[in-house]
Amino acid sequence: MQRLVCFAIMISLLMVSGCSMLMDSSPKNAAQNDRDQHVKKSSKKQPALLKVEVPDELIGLNVLAGPGKYNGDTYDVNQVKKEVDHFPKNLTAEQYLVKFLALIGEDYRPYIKLNNDFNTLARQNDQEPGGIRSAKLPQGKKVNVEVLFDSSGSMAGKVEGGVKMDLAKQAVEKFSSQLPSDVNVALRVYGHKGSNSKSQKEISCKSTDVVYSFGPYQDKKFQQSLNKFHPAGWTPLADSIRAAAKDLEEENGDNVENIIYVVSDGEETCGGDPVAEARKLNGSNTDTIINIVGFDVDNAGQRALKKVADAGGGKYSKVNSKEALNEYFEGEKARLISEWEKWESRNVEDSYQTESEKINALESNEKKMVDLAELEERRIRGYTEYMESKGWDDRVTIDIRSINSLRGIDLRNYARNTGIELRNEVRNHELDRRNETREKALNKRNKLRE
């Protein structure tokens, strides 16, 4: 133990003392100066290929001494022997080891750096399935969804399965509840004032109000908003789109996505131009998309509403009965359940793949460093035997082998222990990811089946 402490102190002093990394009080001849100068030049060429923070367990082992003059492809037994032949005879074992490292020391920086910088955290899952058709929302963006609800008098009409207004409200509620939780949703109603008589047309055509302001979907609050209006008047679709444009005028930029859904049973009846308003909104800096769900709409109305959707860069869909509405959402449920199953399978598989790749990288890094430490130790041991054959005091060479062996053991222990620790972290993080993925997908599927 005392010898290791002495070695650590000596290494530190030698590193501070300068380029030769050797405390040699004897005069240097010209050949020795030339060799030392060559080492200086080599070290200047690749002094900091990698800057690494030395782990605590390697402090005192001079792991940053390499690469040596004859490291790697430049290794030459005869040249190293010539260098050893010129070693002074009056050095300590620690000083001889430093000289050996300057000659044939290996470069451990790449392996230490990989360990220091290795990211053991689990990779993020890919985008989750959206809520409903046409709501495949972009990942990494702020998303605003505004529903424009037609509350004109014709919504009091009946279709197979119930009153259009009631069925439409159910559809809108289900639509909104299945949007991703980080989406902001708003509900704007139009045609909900006055009546569909000519005397009430002006009042009705001016009616468009937000009943649920932008924010995350909240079940009770949204339900209360739906209860605030009933079938009443005319259909000011153009004015409602224009008003929605004001709702969204501050919502622009590359990281913002705006989508409008119009739920209506007919075309514009207040003299406005919804196609022009939709085209204007879609072409504005908010880049808003307008989708339309036509509920029990006649052929003329469908053609008109489809033009609005096309102008708004969106899609037109039609529903004509409660059964069709139920089929629509049951189909969506089945699709979503399947999407969550695929999402789970895809991300669990990716987790296993990521874990395998990281484990392989860490095992490879560990093996390379262990092999390198063994090679370095073996070579230095061989040259101590060469020194003995040249008449060096075997007490010194034995000491060199001893501290060289301890250094090699410490290097290999670091490589193995760090590799094990990092691999365990990778396994634990990816296991947590898989468990969370499975649990989330199961909960989502169960909720859809309710």
What is the pLDDT at residue 33? 40
What is the pLDDT at residue 392? 93
pLDDT class for 131, splitting at 50, 70, 90?
Answer: low
Average pLDDT for 313-321: 84
pLDDT class for 11, splitting at 50, 70, 90?
Answer: very low
What is the pLDDT at residue 332? 63
What is the pLDDT at residue 7? 37
Query: Domain limits of the chain?
Result: 53-130+333-449, 142-314
Q: pTM of the prediction?
A: 0.58
Of 133-147, 254-268, 404-418, the least confident = 133-147
Of 24-33, 155-164, 181-190, 203-212, the least confident = 24-33
pLDDT > 80? residue 10 = no
pLDDT > 50? residue 103 = yes
Burial of 360 (0-12, 13-18, 19+ CB in 10 A): exposed
pLDDT > 80? residue 321 = no
Spatial separation of the C-alpha atoms in residues 187 and 226, rounded to whole Å = 9
pLDDT > 90? residue 396 = yes
Report the mean per-residue pLDDT for the chain: 84
pLDDT class for 8, splitting at 50, 70, 90?
Answer: very low
Average pLDDT for 77-84: 96
pLDDT > 60? residue 1 = no
* Alpha-carbon distances, residue 353 vs 273, 329, 434, 435 (angstroms): 55, 35, 12, 15
What is the pLDDT at residue 291? 87
pLDDT per residue as tens digits for the range 327-377:
766 676 687 788 889 999 999 999 999 999 999 999 999 999 999 999 999
Burial of 23 (0-12, 13-18, 19+ CB in 10 A): middle
What is the pLDDT at residue 320? 80
Report which of residues 328 and 104 the model is more confident about: 104
Neighbours of 124 (CB within 10 A): 10
What is the pLDDT at residue 139? 54
Average pLDDT for 111-140: 76
Tokens representing residue 234 in the block? 């005319």
Spatial separation of the C-alpha atoms in residues 344 and 61, rounded to whole Å = 48
Spatial separation of the C-alpha atoms in residues 136 and 370, rounded to whole Å = 50
Phi, psi of 284 (to 5 degrees): -75, 175
Of 3.40.50.300, 3.40.50.410, 3.90.79.10, 3.30.1360.30, which CATH number belongs to 142-314?
3.40.50.410
Neighbours of 87 (CB within 10 A): 20
Average pLDDT for 300-322: 89
Q: Give 448's Cβ-side CA count (13 Å radius).
A: 26
pLDDT > 50? residue 89 = yes
pLDDT > 70: percent of the chain = 84
pLDDT > 50? residue 130 = yes
Average pLDDT for 167-180: 82
